[in-house]
Amino acid sequence: MGKDYIPLRPKSRKGSLRIWVAALIVSLLYVYHAHSSFKFWPAATLRTPAQAAIVSRCRSLEMKPGPPDDFHDRSESDRFVPHSRPHLVKNAKIWTGRNNGTDIFTGDILIDKGLIKGVGHFGSALLESYGPELVVIDAKNAWVTPGIVDIHSHMGNGASPALDGADDTNSHKGLVMPHLRSLDALNTHDDSYALSIAGGITTALILPGSGDAIGGQAFVIKLRKTAERSSTSMVLEPPYTINSSFPDPTRPPRWRHMKHACGENPSGWYEGTRMDTMYAFCDAYNTASQIKKQQDEYCSKALADEWDGLGEFPEDLQWEALVDVVRGRVKVQIHCYEAVDFDGIVRLSNEFKFPVSAFHHAAEAYLVPDLIKKTYGPTPALAIFATNARYKREAYRHSEFAPRILAENGLTVLMKSDHSQLNSRHLVYEAQQAYFYGLPENLAMASVTSNSAEVMGMGHRIGYIKEGWDADLVIWDSHPLSLGATPVQVFIDGIPQLEDAYVVEKPRAFQRAPSVPNFDKEAEEAVKYEGLPPLEPITVKARPVVFTNVQSVFTPDDAFGVQQLFSAADDNTLGTVVAVDGEITCVGACSMNFADATVIDLEAGSISPGLVTFGSPLGLEHIQSEPSTNDGELYDPLSGSGVPQIVGGDGAIIRAADGLQFGTRDALLAYRAGVTSGIVAPLATGVVGGLGVSFSLGAAHKLERGAVLQEITAVHMNVLQLMPGPSVSTQIAVLRRLLLHPVDGPSKEWFLKVTNGEIPLVVEAHGADIIASLILLKREVEHAKGKTIQMTITGATEAHLLAKELGEAGVGVILNPARPFPFFWEMRRILAGPPVTENTAVSTLMAHNVTVGLGVIEIWEARNTRFEVAWTSLASGGLSRADALALGSTNVAKLLGAKTPRKLFQDLVATRGGDLLSFNSKAVAILSVSRGLVDLL
Ligand SMILES: *[C@@H]1O[C@H](CO)[C@@H](O)[C@H](O)[C@H]1NC(C)=O
Ligand SMILES: *[C@@H]1O[C@H](CO)[C@@H](O)[C@H](O)[C@H]1NC(C)=O
Ligand SMILES: *[C@@H]1O[C@H](CO)[C@@H](O)[C@H](O)[C@H]1NC(C)=O
């Protein structure tokens, strides 16, 4: 497509023949039309074909894009695949998307010819007319929704697994690139397509990256494989400009799409400032507006038949798409975070009179709803993340309450993946989180279906379950807003996408939207404090805290497991728990005769071990992309300059404890979500990591009682293919050398402790081949030293391939990310879990007695540990509550060298309304013996 792209510009020699043939056809069509309706220019027949073509082109410039009036007369989809069979999905609980997302009813859906032929109940005569061709699926009252629509994806532009040969998301060639097209880089070989379909995604808007102010044109695709296997055949309603074919001038044009970006990304990409970017926008829009003006003047002459000296239609290939923006014929998606950036775009849009379809990321939009409403034209939607925030300055004030606050201000909220920033397979999880933090159910559903379809100009055919709409459907194993909801079947254009889907049985309660906690106060404070509400808890010391209506109590046992201490038989036997200075003094039926007690009603809630976060730099980092807020990176001994002698040279070893930072927002947010401690290793860029530390997330500084739980936990190393620098074999050689013949210096003592079996060796590795080499190295060192080494593999994406061997070697695993994705080559062999595979990495590893924990990659994710654990436990089927809790707490601690369970697990979490792993509950208190307090959240 890129190569035979024919520009509109008539000057182009290459394109002239086709254009003139097309012009001829257009003029004939136009003449026909003129005859059939007298309203049109009566002198049509007097024009030359070329003049008629110009006139019809000029008239088409005034047409607004969208479906033609007779669109719904279609009896077959333009995407219908001949011989695909009709389906009847019966007994479905259907969320149609109608009535603001509130229309729900039980019935059947008939699909044929790529379309939804009807919704409701069908007479047997109609069904029989289909004969044996009709495939009948009994949904057994399962939820059925429209296919999930992702308004922001880079799928195919940057392939998964990522390879340099397909790194096509951002052009580096300039700030203003309206002429580029994401379609030209739409790699059809990307593992993401099938994985995201397995999450219910059927349609995505593929945007160029945000490195440039004007990144280029975007395209809506359907994710299924087409018979042609081409990029273009995936595009939904390709704009006619895709190949310069002049459309029938009586039909409205189709929507085009364009990406813009403001703020940090263009500044960073081009070493510029916000001022440079805004000027680049202004200059570009000025140019486009000038061209539009010339065209309009040209056309007013042409339409008045003033042909003398008129010359050629004024246009410029580089600017034609932006001219269409100024004509209001392009859906403009703008990556824009901060108030200052919205402000600039609002001025720009009003100066040049173009509408904005949506602001994306839009971290501060909830703080400036009135500013957003000042944008020229209809108010833009906000396409945002749920909890992904604070990774850079402009995202620092984002709030998990943004979706509900935006909706309360009458703005349209969309949840988006920015795939593979977030894995779009789990886009529905974003809607679930938005719902958890207060976005109403109907709007949460609409945020990934009907509303995203409308905002991308495709609401006339996708995003709803309505007769005549595209047959894109998802049948779910549970209510789509319940945590872990997974498709059991996905239709795209009427074609079922999942073969032999694996389905996990879920409790009946999962068929309803969960009843979620109340966060009214927190949402109000988010606005009041402009995104930085105080997060410090209220500490209670030397006074009893009484928890009433307790449903269950889980605590760590002495063997690093989790045990259930108390469980109420039913609502009438809910228990009481008393704690003083963090220590539980009574569980079950306790006396409540305290004069000075704080009483907390847990409303059938629970007390569980505090979760432990590992894998992100939490504790060493405030804002990922701001070096001045972070501990920084280690010297890499294998880099050219090596480690300076004063640090210890090749024998250096760095302690994370020395760089700890307390009271970061992500730490406090995680604390408020029941993550009481973290284990972190120094931020290494090479093979040598350093010494890990475990610390409390609730402490204000290092000198506070119980702030540092264990000064040194383990020796951390990294063996990764994706690391720049020397080979994997070199990295393993370093590890072998340090284990068998430690280098003199501060590290020697610690490597000796590893080979003596006193402290674990924790190695980040993903690929099965590397993990196998590490198992062999362990054997080799144990043979040489005569002692058993404690080894833990973190990351461990492909560990499931060696489950048996890891079990036999006694090597534990921390899966990070918990929900796997083939980001890199060494991570490509994921075990995807239901509906793709029966087993998950967790169930496979546990079946071989491998101790498994879960990690997170970025610091903002730490707060979501409870949901990651719940999600994994649901997908892995049949884990007990205690085993599930252990995945995110005791197992993590044990695998990373926390010495005694008592030491680390003197922290417990009290949750109201349900247990820590449920969407019904909110963490309300932390009980900490090590810190001698109860924190009220
Ligand atoms: C749509 O639903 C939301 C939340 O339930 C409500 O606040 C809003 O008023 C509704 N809008 C319309 C047009 O009914
Ligand atoms: C242009 O693209 C459309 C949509 O893919 C296709 O139907 C049409 O045949 C193409 N026209 C030409 C001239 O290639
Ligand atoms: C896992 O451990 C249990 C209990 O010790 C044992 O019965 C079982 O055989 C082990 N399974 C494997 C695959 O080693």
Segment 757-816, tens digit of pLDDT = 999 999 999 999 999 999 999 999 999 999 999 999 999 999 999 999 999 999 999 999
Is the domain of 576 the same as that of 664? no
- Ligand 1 center to 336 CA (angstroms): 26
Q: Is residue 516 assigned to a domain?
A: no
pLDDT, tens digit (0-9, with 9 covering 90-100), for 535-562: 999 999 999 999 999 999 999 888 888 9
pLDDT given at position 827: 98
Q: Which domain holds residue 698?
A: 611-905
Inform me whether the pLDDT recorded for 18 exceeds 60.
Answer: no
Share of the chain above pLDDT 90, in %: 89
Is the domain of 356 the same as that of 415? yes
Q: Which ligand is nearest to the CA of 78?
A: 2
pLDDT given at position 32: 31
- Ligand 3 center to 846 CA (angstroms): 10
Three-class SS of residue 389? Answer: coil
Q: Which ligand is nearest to the CA of 810?
A: 3
Residue tagged 């929507």 (tokens): 255
Q: Is residue 470 assigned to a domain?
A: no
Regarding beta strands 688-691 and 611-614, do their DSSP bridges make them parallel or antiparallel, or are they unpaired? unpaired
What tokens does 645 get? 């002698």
Indicate whether residue 201 lines ligand 1 (CB < 6 A).
no
- Ligand 3 center to 430 CA (angstroms): 38
Average pLDDT over residues 448-466: 98
- Ligand 1 center to 100 CA (angstroms): 6
pLDDT band at residue 243, thresholds of 50, 70 and 90? confident
Measured in Å, how far apart are the chain's first and last C-alpha atoms? 57
pLDDT band at residue 902, thresholds of 50, 70 and 90? low
Is the domain of 562 the same as that of 699? no
Is the domain of 330 the same as that of 189? yes
Q: Which atom of ligand 2 is nearest to the CA of 235?
A: 5
The identity of residue 804, as a single letter, is K
Q: Is residue 896 assigned to a domain?
A: yes
Indicate whether residue 412 lines ligand 1 (CB < 6 A).
no
The residues, any chain, with a CB within 8 Å of residue 285's CB and separated by 6 or more, are: 322, 326, 348, 351, 352, 354
pLDDT band at residue 724, thresholds of 50, 70 and 90? confident
Cα torsion at 417, 418, 423, 427 (round to 10°)? 10
pLDDT given at position 595: 85
Is the domain of 867 the same as that of 917? no
Is the domain of 727 the same as that of 748? yes
- What is the rounded CA–CA span in Å between residue 269 and residue 174? 9
- What is the rounded CA–CA span in Å between residue 382 and residue 365? 8
CA-nearest residue, atom 9 of ligand 2: 245
- What is the rounded CA–CA span in Å between residue 459 and residue 425? 22
Number of domains present in the structure of the chain: 4
Share of the chain above pLDDT 70, in %: 94
- What is the rounded CA–CA span in Å between residue 360 and residue 378? 16
pLDDT given at position 22: 39
Indicate whether residue 848 lines ligand 3 (CB < 6 A).
yes
pLDDT, tens digit (0-9, with 9 covering 90-100), for 501-534: 999 999 999 999 999 999 999 999 999 999 999 9
- What is the rounded CA–CA span in Å between residue 385 and residue 399? 9
- Do you find a cis peptide bond into 835, omega within 30 degrees of 0? yes
CA distances from 342 to 212, 363, 373, 412, 418 (A): 17, 11, 10, 16, 19
- Provide the 8-state DSSP code for 447: T
pLDDT band at residue 449, thresholds of 50, 70 and 90? very high
- From the list 815, 810, 426, 799, the residue with the least C-alpha distance to 615 is 815
Please give the model's pTM, rounded to 2 decimal places. Answer: 0.94
CA distances from 749 to 525, 649, 719, 741, 754 (A): 50, 15, 21, 12, 9
Indicate whether residue 807 lines ligand 3 (CB < 6 A).
yes
Inform me whether the pLDDT recorded for 23 exceeds 50.
Answer: no
Q: Is residue 75 assigned to a domain?
A: no
Question: Count of CB atoms within 10 A of residue 809's CB?
Answer: 20
Inform me whether the pLDDT recorded for 5 exceeds 50.
Answer: no
Helix and strand numbers, DSSP H then E, in the chain: 25, 35
pLDDT, tens digit (0-9, with 9 covering 90-100), for 678-692: 999 999 989 999 999
Residue tagged 């728990």 (tokens): 577
Indicate whether residue 443 lines ligand 1 (CB < 6 A).
yes
What tokens does 101 get? 């997302």
Is the domain of 234 the same as that of 211? yes
pLDDT, tens digit (0-9, with 9 covering 90-100), for 120-150: 999 999 999 999 999 999 999 999 999 999 9
Domain boundary among 433, 461, 489: 461
Q: Is residue 87 assigned to a domain?
A: no
Is the domain of 877 the same as that of 916? no
Residues with CB under 6 Å of ligand 2 are 232, 238, 242-243, 245
Q: Is residue 512 assigned to a domain?
A: no
Inform me whether the pLDDT recorded for 352 exceeds 50.
Answer: yes
pLDDT band at residue 33, thresholds of 50, 70 and 90? very low
Is the domain of 632 the same as that of 592? no
- What is the rounded CA–CA span in Å between residue 347 and residue 362? 17
pLDDT band at residue 242, thresholds of 50, 70 and 90? confident
Q: Is residue 73 assigned to a domain?
A: no
Indicate whether residue 806 lines ligand 3 (CB < 6 A).
no
> 33 or 389: which carries more pLDDT confidence?
389
Inform me whether the pLDDT recorded for 351 exceeds 50.
Answer: yes
The strand pairing partners of 810, in sequence order, are none
Indicate whether residue 808 lines ligand 3 (CB < 6 A).
no
The strand pairing partners of 794, in sequence order, are 764, 814
- Ligand 2 center to 292 CA (angstroms): 26
- What is the rounded CA–CA span in Å between residue 626 and residue 680? 19
Q: Is 132 exposed, middle or buried (0-12, 13-18, 19+ CB in 10 A)?
A: exposed
Is the domain of 376 the same as that of 305? yes
Q: Is residue 557 assigned to a domain?
A: yes
Is the domain of 900 the same as that of 842? yes
pLDDT, tens digit (0-9, with 9 covering 90-100), for 465-512: 999 999 999 999 999 999 999 999 999 999 999 999 999 999 999 999
Instruction: Write the CATH number for 556.
Output: 2.30.40.10
- From the list 815, 799, 933, 806, the residue with the least C-alpha distance to 872 is 815
Inform me whether the pLDDT recorded for 636 exceeds 70.
Answer: yes
Q: Do residues 382 and 412 lie in contact, with contact meaning Cβ atoms separated by under 8 Å?
A: yes
Indicate whether residue 182 lines ligand 1 (CB < 6 A).
no
pLDDT band at residue 3, thresholds of 50, 70 and 90? very low
Sign for the CA dihedral angle at 222, 224, 227, 229 comes to positive
Three-class SS of residue 603? Answer: strand
Inform me whether the pLDDT recorded for 210 exceeds 50.
Answer: yes
Domain boundary among 461, 482, 514: 461
Question: Count of CB atoms within 10 A of residue 879's CB?
Answer: 21
- What is the rounded CA–CA span in Å between residue 720 and residue 367? 42
Domain boundary among 461, 494, 526: 461
Is the domain of 168 the same as that of 57? no
Three-class SS of residue 79? Answer: coil
Inform me whether the pLDDT recorded for 44 exceeds 70.
Answer: no
Mutation test of ligand 2: which of 245, 251, 254 has the most ligand atoms closer than 8 Å to its C-beta?
A: 245
Indicate whether residue 442 lines ligand 1 (CB < 6 A).
yes
Buried b (16+ CB within 10 A) or exposed e, 810-820: ebbbbbbbbbb
Average pLDDT over residues 834-849: 98
Instruction: Write the CATH number for 813.
Output: 3.20.20.140
